[in-house]
């Protein structure tokens, strides 16, 4: 079981340079844990790709269906006071945007505050760095 941030989920949905690596990770361990807002962040990424003409409108619709199927299977860390409090603490120690602080706070909640030996899947450099400093094993 691994925690996946949005930057790692999107390549599961659309062809990107990281797609082969994340598919191997998902094949090795198909249990995906995400933050409550990850699905919405993925929808935002897909809409941006359509606006930038990287994918067609039809591809966006198909990919949103794939996202819905994937999201129906993953484990999701809900929003709540514990996650918000952790996110606010993280902002004091790491150079993160609020959304990334929520991602990392959700991962820490999933890990019950003990990230050693837990995998964090991300392609966001700042988030990877903060997650490593918190004690997660960073993939890929």
Segment 79-97, tens digit of pLDDT? 999 999 999 999 999 999 9
| Closest CA relative to residue 105, chosen from 5, 2, 1 | 5
Distance CA 22, CA 92 (A): 30
Q: Residue 139: phi, psi to the nearest 5?
A: -125, 160
pTM of the model: 0.93
Residue 112 Ramachandran class (φ > 0 left, ψ -120 to 50 alpha, else beta): left
**Beta bridge partners of residue 17, listed in sequence order:** none
Segment 81-140, tens digit of pLDDT? 999 999 999 999 999 999 999 999 999 999 999 999 999 999 999 999 999 999 999 999
pLDDT-derived band of residue 30, with 50, 70 and 90 as boundaries?
Answer: confident
């Amino acid at each position: 079981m691994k925690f996946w941030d949005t930057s790692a989920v999107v390549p599961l949905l659309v062809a990107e340079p990281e797609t082969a690596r994340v598919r191997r990770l998902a094949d090795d361990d198909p249990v995906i844990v995400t933050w409550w807002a990850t699905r919405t962040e993925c929808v935002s990424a897909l809409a941006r790709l359509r606006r930038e003409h990287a994918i067609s409108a039809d591809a966006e619709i198909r990919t949103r269906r794939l996202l819905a199927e994937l999201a129906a299977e993953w484990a999701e860390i809900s929003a709540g006071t514990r996650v918000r409090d952790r996110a606010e603490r993280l902002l004091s120690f790491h150079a993160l945007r609020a959304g990334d602080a929520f991602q990392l706070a959700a991962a820490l909640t999933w890990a019950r505050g003990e990230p050693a030996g837990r995998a964090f899947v991300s392609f966001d450099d700042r988030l990877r760095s903060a997650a490593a400093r918190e004690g997660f094993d960073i993939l890929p």
